């Protein structure tokens, strides 16, 4: 095996990447690429694959690291990835196709809009309680409740403006949710996981958003070798600390909180 050499940094635009791939391919008989999964998505993976080269996207949390190594630079990371790739010690993540990634973007956009709606509703509720305005009925956020909000009048014009601004923000968030849900329904036919979504809709009480979110976040479920891997991906594996672990059962076994996996919308889908 030859030495690992650092060739420098380059812009992440398509033209620069194509030049780099062609330059490396001209010098070496076999070329394989890898990079850490991150906010740039999977466009680079698709570009390299379209040029008929192997490319691995690696989960940063699964990259082997020496204990106590706190120095992280682009140079060190690149050299470390090259060595681990050569030693076949990297764990690849599942790469969705463009249609799947697009559906997942819609699902996450809706989740963000729902969270924005929740924040605005909480703001309005707190504002009305602070001013002693109590809705005379139990059910809130109905059309009757929204009309009641619009009918409220305050002595100071600043209070009126503050309420109207957050009401308008709430309306925009609600409209955004409706538009995204309409887009999800429009693009569902032809999606590779549409059969799974339709099957889940056959369950009692399951409509559209829950199965679409489940399918979009989990992707190809068969990539998990066992249920434990799936539970770990969802963040449903509890942390554990035990003393006397070589004894059976171990002494002082403590089950802690769920693992710090990026649960987010994955767990909500479950």
Question: Which helix (DSSP H) or strand (DSSP E) does residue 238 occupy?
Answer: strand 238-243
What is the C-alpha separation between 35 and 63, in angstroms, rounded? 11
What pLDDT score was predicted for residue 32?
A: 92
CB count within 10 Å of CB 88 equals 6
Q: What percent of the chain has pLDDT over 90?
A: 59
Quickly list H helices, 133-226. Answer: 143-151, 157-187, 194-201, 209-218
What pLDDT score was predicted for residue 60?
A: 85
- DSSP per-residue letters across 64-94: ---TT-----HHHHHHHHHHHHHTT-PPBPP
52-66 burial: b if 16+ Cβ within 10 Å, else e: eeebbbbeeeeeeee
What pLDDT score was predicted for residue 56?
A: 93
What is the C-alpha separation between 240 and 253, in angstroms, rounded? 7
Instruction: Give the residue extent of every domain in the chain.
Output: 14-86, 99-189, 224-269
Chain-centroid distance, C-alpha 51 = 28
Q: What is the pTM of this model?
A: 0.78
Among 113, 141, 111, smallest CA distance to 128 is for: 141
Distances in whole angstroms, Cα of residue 147 to Cα of each of 118, 155, 167, 179, 219: 19, 19, 11, 23, 42
What is the C-alpha separation between 71 and 77, in angstroms, rounded? 9
pLDDT along the chain (270 residues), means of 10: 80 90 91 89 92 92 78 86 90 90 95 97 97 92 95 95 97 98 96 94 92 91 82 73 56 55 55
What is the C-alpha separation between 145 and 136, in angstroms, rounded? 9
* Backbone angles phi and psi of 209, in degrees to 5: -65, -40
Cα angle value 231/228/257 (rounded, 5°): 50
What pLDDT score was predicted for residue 95?
A: 92
Q: What is the pLDDT of residues 35-93, one digit of tens each?
A: 998 888 899 999 999 999 999 999 888 888 877 777 778 888 899 999 999 988 888 88
What is the C-alpha separation between 257 and 129, in angstroms, rounded? 35
């Amino acid at each position: 095996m030859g030495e690992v050499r650092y060739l420098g940094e380059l812009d992440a635009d398509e033209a620069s990447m194509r030049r780099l791939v062609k330059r490396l391919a001209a010098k070496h008989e076999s070329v394989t690429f890898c990079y850490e999964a991150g906010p740039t998505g999977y466009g680079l993976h698709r570009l390299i694959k379209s040029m008929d080269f192997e490319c691995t996207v690696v989960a940063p949390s699964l990259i082997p690291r020496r204990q106590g190594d706190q120095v992280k630079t682009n140079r060190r990371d690149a050299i470390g990835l090259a060595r681990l790739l050569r030693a076949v010690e990297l764990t690849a993540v599942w790469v969705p196709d463009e249609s799947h990634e697009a559906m997942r973007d819609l699902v996450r956009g809706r989740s963000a809009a729902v969270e924005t709606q929740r924040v605005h509703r909480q703001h309005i509720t707190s504002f009305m309680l602070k001013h002693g305005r109590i809705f005379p009925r139990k059910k809130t956020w109905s059309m009757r409740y929204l009309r009641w909000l619009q009918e409220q009048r305050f002595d100071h014009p600043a209070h009126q403006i503050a309420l109207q601004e957050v009401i308008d923000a709430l309306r925009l968030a609600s409209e955004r949710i409706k538009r995204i849900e309409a887009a999800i329904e429009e693009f569902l036919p032809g999606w590779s996981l549409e059969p799974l979504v339709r099957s889940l809709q056959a369950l009692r009480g399951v409509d559209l958003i829950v199965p679409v979110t489940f399918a979009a976040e989990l992707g190809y479920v068969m990539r998990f070798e066992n249920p434990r891997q799936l539970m770990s991906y969802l963040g449903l594996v509890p942390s554990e600390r035990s003393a006397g672990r070589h004894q059976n059962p171990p002494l002082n076994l403590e089950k802690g909180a769920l693992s710090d996996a990026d649960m987010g919308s994955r767990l909500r889908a479950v």
